[in-house]
Amino acid sequence: MNKKVILSSIIICVLGILGVWYYAFYMPTHFKRDVIDEQGVGISAIDIVKAYQTNEQVANVAYLDKTLEVSGEITEVKKDQTGKTTVELKSNDSFAGVFCTLKTNNNQLKVGQTITIKGICTGFLTDVVLIEAVIIK
């Protein structure tokens, strides 16, 4: 009887680990957010960086995990380690900006261009970070 309890516990643990692994890496696409379909909160890159620098806790309540439409001037366009296009938008602080990872690559973006990007805010490191971003203007 004791062996059955131990074996059942092991099976339940393995199934739980497999479930978490599937959820984390192979989650069905109908559970993932698509920023294109979401209404975004409009704000300038200058204003959102200022909000986070002034009071990060208040800014997190307002912006964290929400879809934002951030407008600003491009200061940098690069590719990250996975090959995705990243864009940094200018703020009034030379050490901070809005760092956006685009959902699809875009080779037509240029430094100095003013754009609006819609993406999901994941918080503030030295920059405000947007993921799953798309260019809307």
Where are the chain's structural domains? 2-31, 35-135
Give the model's confidence band at 60: pLDDT under 50 very low, under 70 low, under 90 confident, else very high. very high
Q: What is the pTM of this model?
A: 0.73
Could you please state the CATH topology (level 3) that the domain comprising 35-135 is classified under: OB fold (Dihydrolipoamide Acetyltransferase, E2P) (2.40.50)
Q: Is 103 helix (H, G, I), strand (E, B) or coil?
A: coil
Average pLDDT, whole number, for the chain? 86
The residue ranges of DSSP E strands in 31-127, in sequence order, are 41-44, 67-79, 85-90, 97-102, 114-124
Q: How many CA atoms lie within 13 A of 111 on its CB side?
A: 4
pLDDT-derived band at 30, boundaries 50, 70, 90? very low
